[in-house]
A and B are shown apart, each in its own frame.
Chain A
Amino acid sequence: MRTYDSDVCIIGGGISAAMLALKLTELRPGISITVVEAGRKLMDLENRMRYRQRSIEYAENPWPGDFIEDQSAKGIISRTMALGGSALHWGGTCNRFSEEDLRLQSMYGLGVDWPIEWKELEKFYCEAERRLGVSGEPSPLPDDWRSEPYPMSAMVMTHNLKELKAWAEKSGIPFWSTPQAKNTRPYDGRAECIRCNTCSICPTGARYSPDFTFKRLMERKSFTLHDQTLVRKLLLDDTKPAVALARAVHRERPDEPVEYRAPVFVLASGYCWSPHLLLLSQCPRFPNGLANRSGLVGRYMCGHAFISAMIEIDARIYPGMNEQHGLISRQFFRCKPGDPFVRHDLRIWESAAGHEPRLRGSDGRVLLGDALLADWRQRAQRGTARVRGYYDAHPDRESALTLDATTRNRWGDSMPNIQHKLDAATQARQQFTTDHFQQLFQRLSKANNGKILSTSQGNYLDHPAGGCRMGTDPSSSVTDSFGQTHDHDNLFVVGSPTLPNAGCTNGTLTFAALTLRSAERIASRFRGAA
């Protein structure tokens, strides 16, 4: 048995782990930190232009080897399991939640309140934006106040977005540039965006991904990274309810079990694998899994639902100018108490939908060469707006991650099965929500001779979170507001699992902000150790 000792053992190597480890090394440079990641480390920026090209030409995986064949879950939306996690290939969108997300119970009688004040969280949003390198344009709405400006000026609004903004604002709804973790100037040692239009594989490093942070951390002697090492179980101290060690296996040396010992353990494995590890770590003293006296580990799995529309308009749109950058309106983040509840963001992107080359004309006849081009040009005279709203949908207690005994990895561990379920109030207002969006799409399409080409309701919950929700009451939550588990003094959960609800816009910035706040609490345990 190989044993590694450190002051803080972080399990998982995604964006939360990167933020936590970086801040801990700054606050307490003397402590030793180990990050244990089940997937591989993919730090080959020099190859990403080639991967991008292969992805464009052959639809090959632009992140080769970023998954583990037998480590999968039912109900997830991404198989990525590598150093950097899902934020290897994220779009970089960095929207904040709003105060309403933290006050659902007290303002609307829905869900639960978060055990944290907005003003407190806002400070950490600013810090997360600095660390990730966010370029953005301030919201014109007073309720979206910020205590600091964005670190970088907003991404250039392309001709296409200017056209779409002019069109959309005829509806009376203000739109502005979506904030993104993409460099509009050289920032933090990374290059300026050169508009490659493939942000899921940014070949220049202009879009933040956690591998850059880890690369920097690896230059420090006090930081250790173990990749390809799967933590299979947390074991408790014999005499107290504290985690004593994490038992793991290296994927290429399975005959040499590994143990990690630390005074503090942090789960930073995301909404799926953090609760999964807690459930797998069941023992006689905690037969339902660690940190699970409340029975809520793996419960209240959440995410936001979404509705989309393609709207064709009279506008000169040139598809491909910068498809990854869009407009946002936060006009609908707030809902007056007493009004029918609906909260959502509203986003607009350029699109080629309805105006792509096609093999057959309207009469079904095959189009070749010049005929195909003529048909395409004729249809491309109008532009298309892709419109989408993420809306607030609240989880039921039975929205659950459970262990699936029928699916096991090569080590025999049951794999997770996530089945989302929305609470009764969310289900009851679904028709109202759908009608609201239909009216909104109609309102937008009145301008510029607009025509709704299609609408669609998402069939999954995006930006999933939950499974270890935070709260003040140990009987109705798994962790406190810092991610410290109620049941184990030295065990923390950071990032997405701690969210009681997933808001109505992208969650990554919130995961990072909460993690940075947790870092201060974790660092405080080492006062004097620096």
Chain B
Amino acid sequence: MRRRTLLRWVAPLAAAARFPGVRAWAQTVTFPGGHDDTLVALAEIVLPSEIGPAGIREIARRFETWVRDYRPGAEMDHGYGFTRIRNKPQSPAPAYLRQLDSIRPALLHGDAASRRQAVEAALEDAKIADLPRTPDGRHIAADLMTFYFRGSDANDLCYRSSIGRDLCRGLKGSDNPPAPLSGKGAR
């Protein structure tokens, strides 16, 4: 049986389990549960319209994958200057689901202004001062923004250039400015 098929059967049962660890695992591998539409609605508020509706859905889908592939307890980077061995904290999925529950009515039924206000209020309530370096589980709106805006694609969009910061690109031509961005985001 393929892993995805197995998960489709097992995870809903586990999501209802009494044991928090099992439930968190299930919520992670099935993220966003029944909140596909909420997540896309949130993405429409927090991501730039310049990438278009398909681009926004694509980022939401990639974020889902990011959550599902999250590994609680994985070793964290401890390069120069970081002598403390740290591990990734628990999965953010359960908190994300609670947050999506909370803003779902406003996101799905409000007008543009009230949807934006709901997200702003949620960020204020969560006391998020700035985008974290990587998604840290404090609030899904901030984490979805971090996921996109701190990524290589957003860097390209900002500069309207094919910089490809996180890609392996070869040395040739790097003495010239990067090529202008084509497609969405190009001007």
A and B assemble together: yes
Cβ of B16 < 8 Å from any Cβ of A? no
A198 nearest CB neighbor, chain B only:
B166
Are A373 and B80 within 8 A (Cβ)?
Answer: no
Most buried by B among A155, A157, A366: A366
A380 nearest CB neighbor, chain B only:
B158
Question: What residues of chain A lie closer than 8 Å to B167, measured between beta carbons?
Answer: 196
Question: What residues of chain B lie closer than 8 Å to A65, measured between beta carbons?
Answer: 75
Cβ of A460 < 8 Å from any Cβ of B? yes
**Beta-carbon contacts under 8 Å, A24-45 to B:** none
A320 to B46, CA, bound (A): 24
User: If the complex has contacts A369-B48, A372-B149, are A321 and B80 also in contact, measured as CB distance less than 8 A?
Assistant: no
Interface string of A81-124 (1 = CB under 8 A from B): 00000100100000000000000000000000000000000000
Smallest beta-carbon distance A464→chain B, Å: 11
Are B85 and A77 within 8 A (Cβ)?
Answer: no
**Beta-carbon contacts under 8 Å, A45-62 to B:** 54-62
Are A159 and B83 within 8 A (Cβ)?
Answer: no
Interface segment, one of B6-14, B26-34, B93-101, B120-128:
B120-128
Smallest beta-carbon distance A448→chain B, Å: 17
Are A60 and B76 within 8 A (Cβ)?
Answer: yes
Are B177 and A318 within 8 A (Cβ)?
Answer: yes
A159 to B150, CA, bound (A): 22
Are A372 and B145 within 8 A (Cβ)?
Answer: yes
Cβ of A203 < 8 Å from any Cβ of B? yes
Interface string of A191-225 (1 = CB under 8 A from B): 01111111010011000000000000000000000
B178 nearest CB neighbor, chain A only:
A318
Are A58 and B120 within 8 A (Cβ)?
Answer: no
Cβ of B17 < 8 Å from any Cβ of A? no
B152 nearest CB neighbor, chain A only:
A320
Are B175 and A359 within 8 A (Cβ)?
Answer: no
User: If the complex has contacts A60-B71, A368-B116, A368-B119, are A77 and B129 also in contact, measured as CB distance less than 8 A?
Assistant: no
Are A360 and B129 within 8 A (Cβ)?
Answer: yes
A316 to B74, CA, bound (A): 38
Smallest beta-carbon distance B8→chain A, Å: 24
Are B49 and A357 within 8 A (Cβ)?
Answer: no
Question: What residues of chain B lie closer than 8 Å to A89, measured between beta carbons?
Answer: 79-80
Are A370 and B48 within 8 A (Cβ)?
Answer: yes
Are B78 and A79 within 8 A (Cβ)?
Answer: yes
Question: What residues of chain B lie closer than 8 Å to A54, measured between beta carbons?
Answer: 74
- Number of residue pairs spanning A and B whose beta carbons lie under 8 angstroms apart: 161
Are B176 and A159 within 8 A (Cβ)?
Answer: yes
Are B85 and A67 within 8 A (Cβ)?
Answer: yes
Chain B contributes a number of interface residues (CB within 8 A of A) equal to: 59
Are B170 and A194 within 8 A (Cβ)?
Answer: yes
Are A318 and B161 within 8 A (Cβ)?
Answer: yes
Smallest beta-carbon distance B150→chain A, Å: 7
Cβ of B18 < 8 Å from any Cβ of A? no
Cβ of B81 < 8 Å from any Cβ of A? yes
Are A192 and B154 within 8 A (Cβ)?
Answer: no
User: If the complex has contacts A60-B75, A322-B174, A366-B120, are A203 and B145 also in contact, measured as CB distance less than 8 A?
Assistant: no
**Among the listed A61, A76, A197, A460, which residue makes an inter-chain contact with B165, where contact means beta carbons less than 8 Å apart?**
A197
Cβ of B157 < 8 Å from any Cβ of A? yes
Are A368 and B120 within 8 A (Cβ)?
Answer: yes
User: If the complex has contacts A76-B83, A156-B171, A372-B48, are A320 and B77 also in contact, measured as CB distance less than 8 A?
Assistant: no
Cβ of B37 < 8 Å from any Cβ of A? no
Smallest beta-carbon distance B171→chain A, Å: 5
Interface string of A370-395 (1 = CB under 8 A from B): 10110011001000000000000000
Are A194 and B77 within 8 A (Cβ)?
Answer: no
Majority secondary structure, B binding face: loop
Are B145 and A58 within 8 A (Cβ)?
Answer: no
**Among the listed B66, B83, B88, B149, which residue makes an inter-chain contact with A78, where contact means beta carbons less than 8 Å apart?**
B83
Cβ of B134 < 8 Å from any Cβ of A? yes
Chain A contributes a number of interface residues (CB within 8 A of B) equal to: 60
Cβ of A338 < 8 Å from any Cβ of B? no
Question: What residues of chain B lie closer than 8 Å to A252, measured between beta carbons?
Answer: none
Are B168 and A204 within 8 A (Cβ)?
Answer: yes
Question: What residues of chain A lie closer than 8 Å to B70, measured between beta carbons?
Answer: 58
Cβ of B130 < 8 Å from any Cβ of A? yes
Cβ of A69 < 8 Å from any Cβ of B? yes
A9 to B60, CA, bound (A): 56
Question: What residues of chain A lie closer than 8 Å to B49, measured between beta carbons?
Answer: 369-370
Cβ of B39 < 8 Å from any Cβ of A? no
Are B163 and A321 within 8 A (Cβ)?
Answer: yes
Question: What residues of chain B lie closer than 8 Å to A55, measured between beta carbons?
Answer: 77
User: If the complex has contacts A359-B123, A370-B50, A373-B50, are A195 and B169 also in contact, measured as CB distance less than 8 A?
Assistant: yes
A73 nearest CB neighbor, chain B only:
B83
Smallest beta-carbon distance B37→chain A, Å: 18
Cβ of B103 < 8 Å from any Cβ of A? no
Cβ of A162 < 8 Å from any Cβ of B? yes
Are B131 and A359 within 8 A (Cβ)?
Answer: yes
Cβ of A358 < 8 Å from any Cβ of B? yes
**Beta-carbon contacts under 8 Å, B51-91 to A:** 66, 70-71, 74-83, 85, 88
Cβ of B4 < 8 Å from any Cβ of A? no
A81 to B130, CA, bound (A): 35
A367 to B94, CA, bound (A): 26
Question: What residues of chain B lie closer than 8 Å to A72, measured between beta carbons?
Answer: 83
A318 to B162, CA, bound (A): 9
User: If the complex has contacts A69-B85, A319-B163, are A194 and B120 also in contact, measured as CB distance less than 8 A?
Assistant: no
Question: What residues of chain A lie closer than 8 Å to B150, measured between beta carbons?
Answer: 356-357
**Among the listed B130, B159, B163, B164, which residue makes an inter-chain contact with A358, where contact means beta carbons less than 8 Å apart?**
B130
Cβ of A288 < 8 Å from any Cβ of B? no
Q: List 18 A-B contacts (CB under 8 A).
A: A55-B77, A58-B74, A61-B74, A61-B77, A194-B171, A195-B168, A195-B174, A197-B166, A318-B177, A320-B166, A322-B174, A358-B130, A358-B131, A359-B130, A366-B119, A366-B123, A373-B50, A376-B158
Q: Give 10 closest A-B pairs by Cβ, nearest first.
A: A320-B165, A61-B75, A357-B149, A196-B168, A373-B48, A194-B168, A366-B120, A156-B171, A158-B174, A59-B134
A60-B77, A370-B48 known; 14 new pairs, CB 8 Å cut-off, are A59-B77, A79-B78, A79-B82, A79-B85, A156-B172, A156-B174, A156-B175, A357-B149, A357-B150, A359-B129, A359-B131, A366-B123, A369-B45, A372-B48
